[in-house]
Amino acid sequence: MAELDGVRIGVTAERRADDLIGALVRYGAEVRHAPTITIVPLDDDPQLRRGTEDVLTAPVGFTAITTGAGFRGWLDAADGWGRKDELLHALSASRIFARGPKAVGALRGAGLREEYSAPDESNEELFGVLTAAGVAGVRVAVQLHGTTLPEFLDPLTAAGASVVAVQPYRWHSPPNTAPVFSLIHEVLSGELEALVFTSAPAATNFLTLANELGRGDELRAVLRRGTTVCACVGPVTAAPLEAVGIRTLQPERQRLGALVKLLVRRFGGL
């Protein structure tokens, strides 16, 4: 008997969903998959291309990399536009600040070196240190992922930085919301033991779509009771849920494998 036999889990991810679902199924879980966001294709994203060109118009003094996947996606898109080498050269001349080991791994894989890596892998650490690093009058390139982070970029601007933000992995609601609405109904009827979130936008839009369905207040009340566990890959992902009073379960390491193992420990043997 597998550890998650009979445990029903809703997965809200689009990116890397197959890896996550496969791992849960191997442990015996019954998985309901309902992506709550759809990612804008990088090569076809005019905003990303304009942002990249803006970065390349003048020297960059600082660079902030928030995610490894986002940085690699940015380089892949720039490669398709014939600007990758130019972009790497521009960033290599800057002081690079990273949000943890995954961002560092992507940087080093591209031949770049970071000056600083946030020990707790948090945006608060990353942008706090960056803002205090002497950014007045300097161009700062920021790679975002999924959200625009005005709570961190506004202080950078207030400190005198000229912020140039690029946002790989912009998102919108899925073209077919029926699976998400079905997932919401399963939560409300007590049919799911857990919901899994791997990004803050996915968590945010899950709540937004519940409002559109007219069941937002009811859903939040049910999730606050904790009968359906909300498992998140890390604190950034959990923030939209925690902000409305929904407790979350998070692994010590912000990795999909650690998240799966946490669910196994939580529900194994039920």
Token pair recorded at residue 249 = 């379960």
Which backbone phi and psi does 102 adopt, to 5 degrees?
A: -70, -40
Residue of 128, 27, 110, 23 lying closest to 68 (CA atoms): 110
Alpha-carbon gap, residue 86 to 75, rounded angstroms: 10
- Asked if residue 121 has pLDDT above 70, the reply is yes
Find all residues with CB under 8 Å of 185, minimum gap 6, and list them: 215
Domain 8-38+174-267 has CATH 3.40.50.10090: yes
Tokens of 198: 């791997």
Instruction: Express each pLDDT in 5-47 by its tens digit.
Output: 999 999 999 878 899 999 999 999 999 999 999 887 777 788 8
What are the CB-based long-range contacts (under 8 Å, 24+) for 251-259?
A: 254/100, 254/102, 254/121, 256/16, 256/19, 256/20, 256/23, 256/198, 257/23, 259/20, 259/196, 259/198, 259/231, 259/232, 259/233
Residue 104 phi, psi dihedral angles, 5° rounding: -60, -45
Task: Look at residue 270 and tell me whether its pLDDT is greater than 80.
Answer: no
Fold match between 8-38+174-267 and 46-166?
Answer: yes
SS (H, E, C) 52-71: HHHHCCCCCCEEEECCHHHH
46-166: which CATH topology? Rossmann fold (3.40.50)
- CA dist., res. 72 & res. 78, Å (int): 10
DSSP 88-121: HHHHHTSEEEESSHHHHHHHHHTT---SEE-TT-
Q: What's the confidence (pLDDT) of residue 179?
A: 97
Token pair belonging to 8:
């029903």
Q: How sure is the predictor about 147, in pLDDT bands with cuts at 50, 70 and 90? A: confident
Q: Tell me the per-residue pLDDT of 157-172, one tens digit each, with 9 for 90 and over.
A: 999 999 999 988 777 8
Mean pLDDT estimate for the chain: 93
Q: With bands split at pLDDT 50, 70 and 90, how would you rate the model's confidence at 85?
A: very high
Domain ranges of the chain: 8-38+174-267, 46-166
Report helix, strand or coil for 154: helix
Which pLDDT score is estimated for 269? 60
CA distance 270 to 5: 8
SS (H, E, C) 180-249: HHHHHHHHHCCCCCEEEECCHHHHHHHHHHHHHHCCHHHHHHHHHHCCCEEEECCHHHHHHHHCCCCCEE
Closest CA to 233 of 191, 264, 262: 262
